[in-house]
Amino acid sequence: MVRALTILILYELIGTILQQGTGLPVPGPVIGLILALGWLLKFGPPDGDLRQAAQSLLKYLGLLFVPAGVGVVSELGVLKQNAPAIIIAIAVSTTLGLLVTGVTMQWFLSRREAKPHA
């Protein structure tokens, strides 16, 4: 568990160093994620220890963003002032996102069914 956590933190560290060094607007941990995925694809599956640590962390992802979510307490004023804009933006964009992804993927899958040899 400690070894796996060390590996994850090292990837985050390398990602953060690269981000700071290059000034890329991509978060350091995401660069770490891309590097870790690249490593796994090239050198084979994660061992049991890493798999277990990743599973445990992701199982409690909901808990991990509670502290940041509570930060809304300092933003209540801004949130209230812009409530209609925020609600409309989220409702419309989420509906569009679901539709565009779903319809496009459904189109690809139906096309394949229609032409089994394609």
Site residues (CB under 8 A) for other proteins, limited to 30-69: 30, 32-34, 36-37, 40-41, 45-46, 50-51, 53-55, 57-58, 61-69
Q: Is 92 in the site for other proteins (CB under 8 A)?
A: yes
In the block, tokens 């779903």 appear at 102
- The token pair that represents 17 in the structure block: 């160093």
CB of 11 to other proteins, least distance (A): 5
Q: CB of residue 23 vs other proteins: minimum separation in angstroms?
A: 10
97 scored as a contact of other proteins (CB under 8 A): yes
Number of H helices, E strands in the chain: 7, 0
Q: Which two tokens stand for residue 8?
A: 């994850």
The dihedral sign for the CA sequence 54, 25, 91, 97: negative
Contact flag: residue 104 with other proteins (CB under 8 A): yes
Chosen residue from 2, 85, 114, 118 binding other proteins by CB under 8 A: 85
CA–CA gap between residue 112 and residue 118 (Å, rounded): 7
Tell me if 5 contacts other proteins by CB under 8 A: yes
Backbone angles phi, psi at 65, to 5 degrees: -100, 15
The one among 21, 48, 70, 117 contacting other proteins by CB under 8 A: 70
Looking at the Cβ atoms of 21 and 71, the one nearer to other proteins is 71
Residues 26 and 53: their CA atoms lie apart, in Å, by: 24
